[in-house]
Structure 1
Amino acid sequence: MDFQLSDEQRALRDGMRQLLQGRFSLRDAMAHGLTARVDRVLWRDLGRAGFFALALPEAEGGVGLGLPEAVLIFEEAGRALLPGPAVASFLAAGVVPGAATGEAVVTAVDGSLVPWLDEADVVRGDVTDAVPLRSVDPLTPLHRVPPAGSLTRGALLYAAEQLGSATRSCETAVQHARRREQFGRPIGAFQAVKHLCAQMLVRSELARAAVYAAAVTGDTLDASAAKLLADDAAVRNARDCLQVHGGMGFTWEAEVHLHLKRAWVRAELGRSARDAEEELAEAL
C-alpha cells in the first residue's frame, strides 16, 4: 500500500498546520485560569477553511474529499492541541445545521464520556444522566453517562489526533535534546537520550502506517488496530518527552505535560484499548 502523499494532500496538511499554528497559547489559557473554552473565532475560521465539511459532497456545500484527507487534518489538530469537540463536530457536518461552517459547536456521547458538554450548542445522544468529571486534562472538560457505542470514523479521527500529538512530542524532545547542554555537551549526544528519541520516532511511524492504512480501507478492525497503536504512541511518546525535558516538562511554561494529559483522555474516546482489544481478539 502506497502512503506517499499527493501534492494536493501535502498542501491540505500544510495549510491546516499554518491555520492552527499559534492559535492555541498555553500562556493565554493560564491567563484565563485554565478555563476550558472553545475559541468560537477559530471554530468559524476552521469552518471557512472546510475543516468540518471536508468529507461532505460538493453538491451539499462540502469539499468532497475522503477519510484519508480527514486523517491528515486531524493529525494537525492533535499536533496543535486544538481545544474543542472537533471529532463530533466533523461527524455532525451535513446533519446538524451550522456544524459544517463552524457556527455550531457539536459534541456527542462517546462510550460513557461526553467531552465539552457545557460548551456545545448541540449534543448528539442522551445526556439526561450526565455527571461532571474532574478531567486529567484541564483543557478537556468531561461528563460521564451510561455507556453507548462508538463509531469507526470517530475512533479513526481520534487516532489521527493521537498520531499528531505523538509526532509533536517526538519533535519537541529532539529540539530540546539539541539545545539543552550538560557537561558541556548537548544532551542529545548521550546514548540514553538518543535511544529515547529513536523509540519515539519508531512508535510515531508505526502508528502513522496503521492510521493511514485504516483511512484507506475504512475497515472497523483496521480502525481498532490504528487506535491501539496511536494511543500507545501518544502516551509513551509524551512520557519519554517529559523524561528528556526533566522537571521542566512538568511546568506550565511547557506544553509537554498537556500532550500526555490529552493523550490519556483521547485514549478513552472513540474506542478504548479494552474495546479495541476485544474486537481484534474476537476477529482472530
Structure 2
Amino acid sequence: MRFQLTGEQRALQHGVRQLLDRRRDAWQPRAALGPPRLDRTLWRELGAAGLFALRLPEADGGAGAGLPEAVLAFEEAGRALLPGPLVATHLAAGTVPGAATGEAVVTAVDGGLVEWLAAADVVRGDASAAMPVRSVDPLTPLHRVPPAGARRGAGGGARAGTAGEAADPVAPDPVAVLLTAAEQLGTATRVCELAVQHARTREQFGQPVGAFQAVKHLCADMLVRAETTRAAVYAAAVTGDPVDIAAARLLADEAAVRGARDCLQVHGGMGFTWESEVHLQLKRAWLRARRGGGGTDGAELLAADLAG
C-alpha cells in the first residue's frame, strides 16, 4: 500500500499555495491593524479555483474530489492564515446557491460563536440573538450566541448570556471537524518553518540562536508534533471515521497552539510585533480550537469508543 501523495494531489497542494501566496499581502500581517474585511474578489477567486466545490460531483459542477484533497487545500489555507468562514462555505457548496463559486459567503453557529456574521450572505443556525464580542484574532470578527433559555429576558427583550455560557449543543459535522484540523495542521507547519528560519538567521553572542540547545529542542518538538498530526489528519481523511477524526483534531489543536507558542519563544519580543505573523498564527489557532469537535467533544468521543 502506498501512503505518498499522488501527482494530482501534489499539484492541487502546490496550486492552492501559489494562489494564496500571490494574495497573501491583502490580509497579513499589517492588515490586522485595521478592522477585518472580507475580500469578495478573493472569495470569488477561491471559488473559481475550486476550493469550495472540491467535493461536489463533476455532474454538479464540482471537482469530484474527496476528503483527502479537501484536507490538502485547507491545510494550505491554514498555513497562509487565510481569513473568512472557509469551512462553512465549503460545506454549503452543494445546497446554498453561489457558495460553490464564491458568490455567496456562508457562515454557521459553531460552539456558541459565529465567525464573520456581518459579512455572510447565509447563516446556518439560529444567530438571531448574536451579540458582537471582541475577538482574540484581529483578522476574524466574532459574534456570540447565548443559549436558547437566555435569549429572552423577563421583559421579552433579547439579552446576551454570561461570558461562560454557550449556545445549545449541536453534534459537530465530522467533515467540519476534520477540515478545522487540517487548518490547524497548516498553522503547525507554518510556525515550525518560521521558527527554524529565525533560528538560522538571528544571531546572539556571535552565533545563530539555533545553535543553542534550548532553541534546538523547541524546534524539534514543533516538528515532531506537526508531523505526528499530519499522519493522523491524512489518515482520518482516508478512513472518514469519526473516532479517527476526533483523534486527529485533538492532535492538531495541540500542535497548532503549542507550536505557535514555542515559535513565539524562539522569536522573543519580535514575535509580538505587527511585522510578524507569529502572534496572528497563535491567535487563529486559539480561535479554531473553540470550534465544535475539539477539546472535550473529541476527548469524550475517544473515551466512549475505548470504553465501548
TM range (shorter): over 0.9
Indicate which of 294, 297, 302 corresponds to 1:272: 294
Gaps of 5+ in 2: 146-166
2:278 to 240, 247, 256: 256
Cross-structure match for 1:220: 242
| Matched-pair contact (CA < 8 Å) for 2:88–2:107 | yes
How big is the shift at 1:207? 0.5
Quote the residue 2:201 is aligned against: 179
Q: Which amino acid aligns with 1:62?
A: G
SS of residue in 2 equivalent to 1:24: helix
Q: Secondary structure at the match of 1:107?
A: strand
Whole-angstrom distance in 2 between the partners of 1:260 and 1:170? 12
CA distance in 1, matches of 2:87, 2:176: 6
1:157 to 179, 182, 186: 179
Structure 2 CA distance for partners of 1:111 and 1:149, relative to 1, 3 Å: farther
Does the residue aligned with 1:21 lie in a helix, a strand or coil? helix
Q: Where does residue 191 of structure 1 map in the other structure?
A: 213
3-state DSSP class of the match of 2:276?
A: coil
- Check if 1:246 corresponds to 2:248: no
1:1-284 correspondence to structure 2 within 5 Å = 2-25=2-25, 26-30=28-32, 33-145=33-145, 146-147=167-168, 148-284=170-306
Q: Secondary structure at the match of 1:271?
A: coil
**Distance in structure 2 (CA, Å) of the matches to 1:63 and 1:223:** 23
**Contact preservation (8 Å) 1:156, 1:270:** no
| Shift in alpha-carbon separation, 1:27–1:279, aligned structure 2, 3 A | closer
Between the aligned partners of 1:116 and 1:220, the Cα distance in structure 2 is 27
Q: Which moved more, 1:180-189 or 1:265-274?
A: 265-274
In the TM superposition, residue 171 of structure 1 has moved relative to its aligned partner by 0.3
Paired amino acid for 2:116: W
* Equivalent AA in structure 1 for residue 235 of structure 2: A
Q: With structure 1 as the length reference, what TM-score do the two structures score?
A: 0.97
Partner of residue 148, structure 2: none
Identity of aligned residues (%): 71
Q: Secondary structure of the residue that 2:23 maps to in structure 1? A: coil
Contact 2:29–2:280 at 8 Å: present in 1 too? no
Post-superposition CA distance 1:17-46 (Å, at most 9, x none): 00000423325514xx43111111111111
Whether the aligned pair in 2 keeps the contact of 1:158 and 1:270 (CA below 8 Å) is: no
The one-letter code matched in structure 2 to 1:279 is L
Counterpart of 1:51 in structure 2: which amino acid? L
Number of aligned residues? 282
CA distance in 2, matches of 1:176, 1:13: 25
Farther-moved stretch of structure 1 (129-138 vs 58-67):
129-138
SS of equivalent residue, structure 2 residue 103: coil
Change (3 A) 1:27 1:202: closer
Contact 2:30/2:274 (8 A) holds in 1? no
**2:292 and 2:71 mapped to 1: Cα distance?**
14
Q: Stretches of 4+ moved more than 2 A in 1?
A: 24-28
- Partner SS for 1:64: coil
**Residues 30, 275 of structure 2: 8 Å contact kept:** no
Asked whether the 8 Å contact 1:110–1:149 carries over to 2, the reply is: no
Q: What is the CA–CA distance in structure 2 between the aligned matches of 1:49 and 1:270, rounded to whole Å?
A: 28
SS at match of 1:23: helix
Query: How far does residue 283 in structure 1 lie from its aligned partner after superposition?
Result: 1.3
Q: CA deviation at 1:239?
A: 0.4
Which residue identity lines up with residue 42 of structure 1 in the other structure? Answer: L
Question: How much is the aligned-residue C-alpha RMSD, in angstroms?
Answer: 1.2
- Contact preservation (8 Å) 1:173, 1:245: yes
Q: Is the 8 A contact 1:163 1:234 kept in 2?
A: yes
Amino acid at match of 1:93: A
Q: Supply the AA of the counterpart residue of 2:209.
A: I
Local SS of the residue matching 1:143: strand
